[in-house]
Amino acid sequence: MADPAVLRLGWMLGALGLALAPTALRLPPWITATFVAAACWRLAVQHFGWRLPPGWLRLVLAVGGVLGVLFTYRTFNGLEAGGGLLVVMGAMKLLETRARRDIQVLSFIGYFIVLMQLLHDQPIWSLPWLFISVTAITLALLQGVRGGAPLPWRIATGLVLRMLAFAVPVALVLFLLFPRVPGPFWALPSRGESGLTGLSDEMSPGTISQLIHSDEVVFRVAFDGPLPPASARYWRGPVLEGFDGWTWRNFDRPAMRRPHIELRGASHRYRVTIEPHGRAWLLALDYPGAWSDRDAILTNAFQLVTRKPVENVRALEIESWPAAIPEPVLGSLTRLRSLQLPQGRNPRTVALARQLRSAVPSDAAFIDAALAHFRAEPFVYTLQPPMLSGGHPVDEFMFRTQRGFCEHYASAFTTLARAAGVPARVVTGYQGGEFNPLSERLVVRQSEAHAWSEVWLEGRGWIRVDPTGAVAPDRIEFSLGEALPEGERVPGSVLKDFRGLRALSQGWDALNSMWTDWVLGYGPDRQLALLARLGMPDADWRTLVLAMTAFVAAIMLALAVWLGLRLRPPPAPEALRLYREFCRRLERRGLARAPQEGPRDFAERIAAQRPALAERVGQITHLYTALRYGAAAPEGNLMAALRREVRAFRP
Amino acid sequence: MSPRYRFPEGIAVGRSGPPALTDPVARLANFVRGWARRRQGADGDPVALHRRRVYILPTALGLGFAMALFGMLLAAMNYNNNMGFALTFLLAGLGLVTMHWCHENLSGVIARGFRVRPSFAGQPARLELSLENPGSAPRHDLQVACRHVRSSFLDLSPGQAGELHVDLPTRRRGRLVIEQIGIHTAFPFGLFRAWAWLHPACIGIVYPAPAEHAPAPPAGGPEDAEGRWDERHGEDDFAGLRSFRQGDSPRRIAWKAAARGDELPVKQFAGSARGSAWLEWDSLPAMPAEARLSVLCRWVLDAHAGGGAFGLRIPGTEIPPAMGPAHRHRCLTALALYAGGEGAADG
């Protein structure tokens, strides 16, 4: 077999490679290249018997690597930079690996690389990947720290898997019952928007239609009662009040006055599981009145937000009242904000608004007139609107192109309303969602991103107006695909036209939904629910710790028993056990067998002492010696005979 | 109650050589060893390592592992990341399982056949013992340690037995008393170390170092009392040639044969015809006692190698002439334990 040192190194390199594989694509190429080069160098050192790189060279390389990380990320703080640094350090460690201790350090680095990847991203395959990489690194550790030569891989793998067979239940108990202390304990650099798609806090022509191209799941909802109709499923995201003629955005400081809302009518109760999007907002149906997350607050634009960005899967229970009256009395600041328009921009739209308003008696009638305008003119709902120039984009859209996506319609309508003196604002969020019958969840994807308007009417508060619905009612009632003109397609929708694939994709989504709900979204509320189901209704963290300790102790006890059984001597052959029983029975009659006495001598002595027993004893001794010392014979019959004889033997 | 047991100075943990007992860690270790000795009592041969006498502690690596796990837990809490928790808990579970595994890897092993091979002062004395695995699961990475010296590793499949040895350094002649033997294992991951302490009645003999330059031994036969070789006698008894060893008399060298080759051949004579030689303390000129013992040791070795019968006469002890390895051992032991050799042989 090969050199044990090469084997040890090979095991460790293989395991590290496996742990690093999903991260490698994400890391800057030079870091991945550094690691691969270090691994190759180290293998060559082993294979050709070169000397390890000298200390000064390693120092130069290490300093260079650290500076490289600093230069690439501009910081050491945070997941990305920390991960990069970890991999570079692992590469440097490889170059000085000679003793057992170095292999051990490498295995720890390997575990941390796995952790880094898990903190970054938790798709459903990360569980099997976690298991496989931990197994591989642990195997490499086993081989690396072993005193003797490396074990054959089959035996080593069997050992590690048997240990994991006990470690996994322990991990499961700890996972279910370990009290979750809400972090963070120190300021985390936010991952920002790197690699995350989703609504942003501003909207200009083209922002939402960009999102439509993504099939990513934004959140899933499980309703307690019946599913609300598609036309009522408006998921409220950022509410935008400021407008510069081109872009709608939030004011820097949202008014944090307590929102005033009159809850009335029927309510919906549901559980939303939100995928991480790196922003601080949550998504709820209009209008949330109660929710389970203490970190969540309702802005006075009735948007549910949290104090920290959503960096991990987050689940919360929400109750919404669709018929509530939001803000029955409009505050003066809010009125000012929702009437603001940039001076001198989009003059034709402003003129149109004034003309429409003067023709009708009330604000409510103006809304209808404006919607009627959209219906009457040849507006087209399309994913590929023509480019708008910067000067008067709303005018251009209203009177020249007349082709646009929901952000164009929301922007134009809100401008119209404001110009007519009706307080109005743009609301972005998601509309609709696909119900998955397998998981019984409503699945909302990026492609369901939407923008609409909200106007304030005396006595009715804020009411939702969706100008897109006036142009393309199918978008609201059904889905984007139905609303688009002939020849335009939602990306990726081709596949969904096949029945089998649709079922497959629903199954996959149901699996993912379970994953996010039960694994990623598992939190304190679910822990307490679990304890309640176990018969501990009023549990707190002390109960959790107690239950956890008890379960872990039970598993450890099982392990100790199993190990103890394994270490017991193997059972004696049956013939020997029967013969011992026979000797015990004789001993009770005072006929003990001397230690040096062979079975035959013993039988002869018994025959001499007790002639009455001679025949039986002779028979048993004959059978026993035939079974123990005889040539390979049909054992079954002899064994059965011996069993019968011994059982019947009553000296 | 067994009498309060104390180890002689210098039996304490440490890298190399006996550390000073002023070191608090060494004192604590010494105390623990003494406690284990009192708790377990003396051992016979064989000894089964019952579960209750297998001790276990985390290694430095194990403590590092615990620290790493704590770091992972903090990270998982901080990012509120359930997969991070899953990894941390899986590794924690693995650590717990490892602890039991390590302990069970050692408990139940049977140790027997403790003995120390005699050696010469300054040369390592080899402590040997055999380990047996009576269980039905394999054992891995068993190691014997004695006086800070560790053996190689041993794997035992079910029912198998194997030998391990440690080479103990010696400095001077005398008895080498083995107070304690440790049987260790850090299997599977080196996170924990389980060990058992054995206290068998096991004493080794360290012979004096043989003198490098020694006068020729007095011969009872053809060699006269002054050490002169009488050429006329014994020529008939010529038995062959052997190569030169330090201390050989130049008169025994076969000069004619030496002219033909590179080696210095020395004539050998059949012992039976020579009669028995007496190796005597008093036949040596005035020199310190230890030097005398060294020369006598060399003589015994040469006389044994020469194949003749010889006797040993030192103050207080007289061993009549005889032959064979047992006799050689008896003579060398007498030299090893000559007045002044009662102390420990490790200095």
d(CA B136, nearest CA chain A) in Å: 5
Cβ atoms of A66 and A87 closer than 8 Å: no
d(CA B262, nearest CA chain A) in Å: 39
The alpha-helical segments, DSSP class H, found in B268-317 are 271-274, 289-306
Whole-number average pLDDT of chain B? 79
Query: How many A/B residue pairs have CB atoms within 8 Å?
Result: 178
Q: How far is residue B29 from each of residues A387, B6, B190, measured CA to CA in Å? A: 82, 12, 21
Q: Identify all chain A residues contacting B189, using CB atoms and an 8 Å cutoff.
A: 138, 141-142, 145
- By C-alpha distance, the chain A residue nearest B143 is A147
pLDDT at A383 over 90: no
- By C-alpha distance, the chain B residue nearest A175 is B86
**Which one has a higher pLDDT value, B2 or A261?**
A261
- pLDDT tens, residue by residue, A569-596: 777 777 888 888 888 888 888 888 887 8
Buried b (16+ CB within 10 A) or exposed e, A186-222: eebeebeeeebbbbbebbbbebbbebbebeebbbbbb
The one-letter amino acid code at A571 reads P
Tell me which residue in B91, B93, B100 faces A560 most closely, judged by beta carbons: B100
- By C-alpha distance, the chain B residue nearest A109 is B68
Q: Does the pTM of the predicted model rise above 0.80?
A: no
CA pair distance A260, A462, nearest whole angstrom: 11
Test A163 with B92 for CB contact under 8 angstroms: no
Whole-number average pLDDT of chain A? 83
Q: Identify all chain B residues contacting A295, using CB atoms and an 8 Å cutoff.
A: none
CA pair distance A254, A237, nearest whole angstrom: 14
Cβ atoms of A237 and A283 closer than 8 Å: yes
Test A100 with B190 for CB contact under 8 angstroms: yes
**pLDDT band of A490, cuts 50, 70, 90:** low
pLDDT at A156 over 70: yes
Residue from A308, A263, A307 nearest A286 by CA: A263
d(CA A154, nearest CA chain B) in Å: 14
Tell me which DSSP letter residue A268 carries: E
pLDDT at residue number A482? 66
Q: Identify all chain B residues contacting A114, using CB atoms and an 8 Å cutoff.
A: 87
Q: A284: how many CB neighbours lie within 10 A of its CB?
A: 28
CA pair distance B113, B128, nearest whole angstrom: 7
Q: Identify all chain B residues contacting A23, using CB atoms and an 8 Å cutoff.
A: none
**pLDDT band of B227, cuts 50, 70, 90:** very low
- pLDDT tens, residue by residue, A294-343: 778 888 888 888 887 887 788 888 999 988 888 888 888 888 888 888 88
The one-letter amino acid code at A332 reads S
d(CA A453, nearest CA chain B) in Å: 36
Report the residue of A118, A126, A135, A522 to disrupt the B interface, i.e. the one with the largest count of B CBs within 10 Å. Answer: A118
User: Across residues A191-199, what is the average pLDDT?
Assistant: 57
Tell me which residue in A141, A145, A567 faces B137 most closely, judged by beta carbons: A567
CA pair distance A601, B246, nearest whole angstrom: 60
Q: Identify all chain A residues contacting B155, using CB atoms and an 8 Å cutoff.
A: 148
Q: Identify all chain B residues contacting A111, using CB atoms and an 8 Å cutoff.
A: 68, 72, 87, 91
Cβ atoms of A137 and A16 closer than 8 Å: yes
Report the residue of B56, B61, B82 to disrupt the A interface, i.e. the one with the largest count of A CBs within 10 Å. Answer: B82
pLDDT at residue number B301? 87
Tell me which DSSP letter residue A123 carries: -
- pLDDT tens, residue by residue, B82-124: 899 999 999 999 999 999 999 999 988 999 889 899 999 888 9
Tell me which DSSP letter residue B2 carries: P
Cβ atoms of A391 and A346 closer than 8 Å: no
Test A100 with B158 for CB contact under 8 angstroms: no
Q: Per this entry, what is the length of chain A? A: 651
Q: How far is residue A515 from each of residues A123, A215, A282, A511, A524, measured CA to CA in Å? A: 8, 18, 20, 6, 17
Q: Identify all chain A residues contacting B164, using CB atoms and an 8 Å cutoff.
A: none
CA pair distance A431, A444, nearest whole angstrom: 8
Residue from A136, A117, A115, A101 nearest A15 by CA: A136
Q: Identify all chain B residues contacting A519, using CB atoms and an 8 Å cutoff.
A: 82-83, 86
Report the residue of A105, A109, A116, A119 to disrupt the B interface, i.e. the one with the largest count of B CBs within 10 Å. Answer: A119
Q: Identify all chain A residues contacting B64, using CB atoms and an 8 Å cutoff.
A: 104, 108
Test B94 with A130 for CB contact under 8 angstroms: no
User: Across residues A231-247, what is the average pLDDT?
Assistant: 87
Test A147 with B97 for CB contact under 8 angstroms: no
Q: Which residues of A are catalytic, by number?
A: 406, 450, 466
Tell me which residue in A168, A185, A570 faces B90 most closely, judged by beta carbons: A168
Test A163 with B101 for CB contact under 8 angstroms: yes
Who contacts A585 (Cβ-Cβ below 8 Å, separation ≥6)?
A649, A650, A651
Residue whose entry in the numeric block shows the structure tokens 């009392």: B225
Residue from B126, B133, B124, B65 nearest B93 by CA: B65
CA pair distance A210, A197, nearest whole angstrom: 10
Tell me which residue in B85, B104, B137 faces A175 most closely, judged by beta carbons: B85
**pLDDT band of A262, cuts 50, 70, 90:** confident
d(CA A69, nearest CA chain B) in Å: 21
Q: Identify all chain A residues contacting B90, using CB atoms and an 8 Å cutoff.
A: 130-131, 134, 164, 167-168, 171
Q: What sign does the dihedral A122-A127-A132-A136 (CA atoms) show?
A: positive
Q: Identify all chain A residues contacting B91, using CB atoms and an 8 Å cutoff.
A: 111, 134, 167
CA pair distance B334, B338, nearest whole angstrom: 6
pLDDT at residue number A165? 93
Number of Cα atoms under 13 Å in the Cβ half of residue A182: 9
CA distance between the termini of chain B: 31
Cβ atoms of A306 and A316 closer than 8 Å: no
CA pair distance A353, A349, nearest whole angstrom: 6
pLDDT at A17 over 50: yes
**Which one has a higher pLDDT value, A332 or B22?**
A332
User: Across residues A488-494, what is the average pLDDT?
Assistant: 58
CA pair distance A114, B311, nearest whole angstrom: 74
Written as six digits, the tokens of B15 are: 């890298």
d(CA A110, nearest CA chain B) in Å: 12
Test B83 with A119 for CB contact under 8 angstroms: yes
Cβ atoms of A333 and A254 closer than 8 Å: no
Report the residue of A160, A526, A567 to disrupt the B interface, i.e. the one with the largest count of B CBs within 10 Å. Answer: A567
CA pair distance B18, B10, nearest whole angstrom: 5
Report the residue of B51, B63, B69, B79 to disrupt the A interface, i.e. the one with the largest count of A CBs within 10 Å. Answer: B79
**pLDDT band of B11, cuts 50, 70, 90:** very low
Tell me which residue in B79, B87, B159 faces A311 most closely, judged by beta carbons: B79
Test B158 with A112 for CB contact under 8 angstroms: no
Test B87 with A126 for CB contact under 8 angstroms: no
Name the phi and psi angles at A486, rounded to 5.
-50, 135
pLDDT at residue number A166? 93
Test B78 with A184 for CB contact under 8 angstroms: yes
Torsion angle defined by CA atoms of residues A43, A44, A50 and A55, in that order, rounded to the nearest 10 degrees: -60
Residue whose entry in the numeric block shows the structure tokens 């070191």: B23
Test B61 with A101 for CB contact under 8 angstroms: yes
Buried b (16+ CB within 10 A) or exposed e, A485-497: eeeeebeeeeeee
Residue from A43, A42, A39 nearest A53 by CA: A42
pLDDT at residue number A254? 55
Tell me which DSSP letter residue A446 carries: G
User: Across residues A127-150, what is the average pLDDT?
Assistant: 89
**pLDDT band of B201, cuts 50, 70, 90:** confident
pLDDT at A606 over 70: yes
d(CA B326, nearest CA chain A) in Å: 30
Residue from A174, A151, A429, A496 nearest B139 by CA: A151
pLDDT at B63 over 70: yes
pLDDT at residue number B142? 93
**pLDDT band of B269, cuts 50, 70, 90:** low
- pLDDT tens, residue by residue, B279-303: 888 888 778 888 888 888 888 888 8
Q: Residue B215, preceding bond cis, omega within 30 degrees? A: no
Q: Per this entry, what is the length of chain B? A: 347
pLDDT at residue number A406? 87
**Which one has a higher pLDDT value, A651 or A436?**
A436
**pLDDT band of A387, cuts 50, 70, 90:** confident
**pLDDT band of A174, cuts 50, 70, 90:** very high
pLDDT at A631 over 80: no
Per DSSP, the residues of A589-635 read: TT-PPPTT--HHHHHHHHHHH-GGGHHHHHHHHHHHHHHHHS-S--H
Number of Cα atoms under 13 Å in the Cβ half of residue A79: 24
Test B84 with A119 for CB contact under 8 angstroms: yes
d(CA A562, nearest CA chain B) in Å: 10
- By C-alpha distance, the chain B residue nearest A276 is B81
pLDDT at residue number B23? 79
**pLDDT band of B347, cuts 50, 70, 90:** very low
Cβ atoms of B158 and B133 closer than 8 Å: yes
B158: exposed, middle or buried (C-beta count within 10 Å: 0-12, 13-18, 19+)? middle
Q: Residue A184, preceding bond cis, omega within 30 degrees? A: yes
- By C-alpha distance, the chain A residue nearest B190 is A145
User: Across residues B242-255, what is the average pLDDT?
Assistant: 71
pLDDT at residue number A632? 60
Cβ atoms of A277 and A444 closer than 8 Å: no
Test A186 with B85 for CB contact under 8 angstroms: no
